[in-house]
């Protein structure tokens, strides 16, 4: 019976009318529900939406009865490499009902076989998806350090409890106080997230025209694949989080111009009970290590001021990794690979090294 149900399906591009069906698939499979209006407006309001008019917003697995039994999203994003535009799509929200899991691979292969794009990305694979993508021989992004996130403890006790829980300690809560004191002392001694910035780090209310000028300076810097980050794109990406009070924008300046910025996203109750500031975007003109250092110190300081337990950074880009590691973060290796891609023949050689990528939470959905 399961075999006949599995066969009696088809995969087709998602349409606006599938929003509620996709929402229900996500809910049935333990994922956050999809708001139909937000789902549509996200594609339509993207500043470069016109570049992707013929590219699907995703695909659905449809049963013989016309129900949505599975889905995968296809987020459009414009990149640049050496001044040339790179059209990319990012896989997101892959979910299939149990009775139809036999066809789940077909959704993934449909994503990686689509035409009309230069680059296809999956930057947030879970353990199951990682095994599937490896089995399909989808190449890994060559940025190994990305699999070791950096943490700076703003609240030593809460951070200690999270570490103990991660290690399976049944007495994590009770032991968090003495362990937290030792962690605090160790943080001070090793200078984890501590130091004096070279200049002021300011909190901004949002994004203005100065970010267009900064983007031009970033794009003219070292050769690297970067998602376009004009003022309009940054507003599109982070407006909802800023309006909801979940985001903070920190910036540095030099000679009256912005020299760098970091966008922090608040994630309460994540990572074993910690509240986190995730560094969702992290940029500096010319990859200036002093600017990266100042922004990281500003992020840790803001977390302490606002009662956030820790700051987390995911990056494998060597130019960003070096100043981050100089601030002595706590880190651990993720036990599975998260980053996969397929590039056009023209891009393969250019993307073969870690320093060719500027990949972060900005690029994940």
Candidates 336, 272, 269; CA nearest to 122 is 336
**Is the pLDDT at 170 greater than 70, yes or no?**
no
More confidently predicted of 355 and 34: 355
**Is the pLDDT at 188 greater than 60, yes or no?**
no
137 band by pLDDT with thresholds 50, 70 and 90: very high
What's the average model confidence in pLDDT over 276-299?
Answer: 97
More confidently predicted of 178 and 217: 217
Contacts of 113 (CB under 8 A, 6+ apart): none
**Is the pLDDT at 336 greater than 70, yes or no?**
yes
Q: Put residue 33 in one of left, alpha, beta given phi > 0 → left and psi -120 to 50 → alpha.
A: beta
Q: What is the pLDDT of residue 178?
A: 58
Radius of gyration of the chain (CA): 21
Q: What is the pLDDT of residue 40?
A: 72
**Is the pLDDT at 180 greater than 70, yes or no?**
no
Candidates 245, 278, 243; CA nearest to 263 is 278
What element of type H or E holds 147? Answer: none
pTM of the prediction? 0.89
Predicted confidence (pLDDT) per residue in 115-128, tens digit: 999 999 999 898 98
Task: Give yes or no on whether 2-143 and 149-332 have one common fold.
Answer: yes
Q: What is the pLDDT of residue 4?
A: 41
Cα torsion angle, 360, 288, 331, 161, sign: negative
3 band by pLDDT with thresholds 50, 70 and 90: very low
38 band by pLDDT with thresholds 50, 70 and 90: confident
Could you tell me what percent of the chain has a pLDDT over 90? 72
Alpha helices in 45-190 (DSSP H): 104-112, 127-135, 156-166, 172-190
Q: What is the pLDDT of residue 268?
A: 63
Predicted confidence (pLDDT) per residue in 71-96, tens digit: 999 999 999 999 999 999 999 999 99
E strands, 46-140, in order = 58-63, 68-81, 84-96, 119-122
What element of type H or E holds 205? Answer: none
Beta-bridge partners for 85? 80
Q: What is the pLDDT of residue 177?
A: 43
More confidently predicted of 176 and 249: 249
Contact assessment for residue 154 and residue 183, using Cβ atoms and an 8 Å cutoff: no
CATH architecture type of domain 2-143: 3-Layer(aba) Sandwich (3.40)
332 band by pLDDT with thresholds 50, 70 and 90: confident
312 band by pLDDT with thresholds 50, 70 and 90: very high
Q: What is the pLDDT of residue 183?
A: 53
Q: What is the pLDDT of residue 35?
A: 72
Contacts of 59 (CB under 8 A, 6+ apart): 11, 12, 13, 14, 71, 72, 74, 107, 110, 111
Q: What is the pLDDT of residue 274?
A: 79
Contact assessment for residue 81 and residue 224, using Cβ atoms and an 8 Å cutoff: yes
Predicted confidence (pLDDT) per residue in 189-210, tens digit: 466 788 999 999 999 999 999 9
Q: What is the DSSP letter of 199?
A: S
Q: What is the pLDDT of residue 256?
A: 87
37 band by pLDDT with thresholds 50, 70 and 90: low
Q: Which fold has domain 149-332?
A: Aminopeptidase (3.40.630)
Going across the sheet that includes 274-284, the strands are: 202-204, 247-254, 257-270, 274-284, 310-313, 150-153, 330-331
Residues recorded for the chain: 365
**For residue 338, what are the CA distances in angstroms to 74, 124, 278, 333?**
17, 5, 17, 12
Domain boundaries, the chain: 2-143, 149-332
Q: What is the mean pLDDT of the chain?
A: 88
What burial letters (b/e) apply to 29-60, b meaning 16+ CB within 10 Å? eeeeebebeebeebbeebbbeeebeebbbbbb
Taking the chain, what is the end-to-end CA distance rounded to the nearest angstrom? 35
Tell me the angle at which helices 19-28 and 36-44 cross, rounded to the nearest 10 degrees: 120
């Amino acid at each position: 019976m399961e075999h006949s149900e599995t066969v009696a399906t088809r995969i087709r591009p998602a349409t606006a009318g599938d929003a509620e069906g996709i929402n229900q698939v996500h809910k049935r499979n333990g994922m956050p529900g999809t708001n139909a209006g937000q789902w549509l407006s996200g594609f339509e309001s993207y500043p470069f939406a016109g570049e992707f008019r013929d590219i699907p917003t995703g695909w659905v697995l449809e049963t013989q009865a016309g129900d949505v039994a599975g889905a995968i999203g296809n987020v459009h994003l414009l990149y640049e490499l050496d001044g040339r535009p790179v059209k990319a799509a990012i896989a997101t929200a892959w979910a299939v009902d149990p009775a139809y899991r036999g066809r789940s691979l077909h959704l993934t292969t449909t994503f990686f076989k689509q035409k009309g794009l230069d680059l296809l990305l999956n930057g947030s694979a879970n353990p199951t998806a990682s095994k599937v993508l490896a089995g399909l021989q989808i190449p890994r992004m060559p940025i190994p350090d990305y699999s070791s996130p950096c943490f700076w403890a703003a609240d030593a006790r809460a951070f200690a409890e999270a570490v103990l829980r991660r290690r399976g300690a049944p007495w994590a809560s009770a032991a968090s106080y003495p362990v937290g004191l030792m962690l605090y002392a160790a943080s001070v001694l090793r200078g984890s997230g501590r130091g004096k910035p070279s200049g002021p780090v300011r909190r901004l209310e949002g994004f203005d025209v100065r970010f267009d000028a900064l983007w031009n300076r970033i794009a003219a810097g070292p050769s690297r694949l970067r998602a376009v980050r004009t003022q309009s794109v940054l507003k599109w990406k982070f407006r909802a989080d800023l309006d909801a009070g979940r985001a903070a924008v920190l910036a540095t300046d030099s000679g009256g111009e912005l020299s760098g910025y970091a966008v922090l996203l608040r994630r309460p109750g994540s990572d074993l009970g910690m509240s986190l500031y995730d560094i969702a975007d992290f940029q500096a003109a010319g990859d200036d290590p002093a600017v990266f250092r100042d922004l990281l110190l500003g992020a840790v300081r803001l977390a302490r001021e606002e009662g956030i337990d820790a700051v987390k950074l995911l990056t494998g880009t060597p130019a960003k990794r070096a100043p981050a590691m100089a601030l002595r973060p706590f880190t651990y290796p993720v036990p599975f690979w998260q980053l996969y891609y397929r590039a056009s023949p023209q891009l393969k050689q250019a993307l073969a090294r870690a320093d060719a990528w500027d990949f972060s939470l900005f690029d994940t959905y």
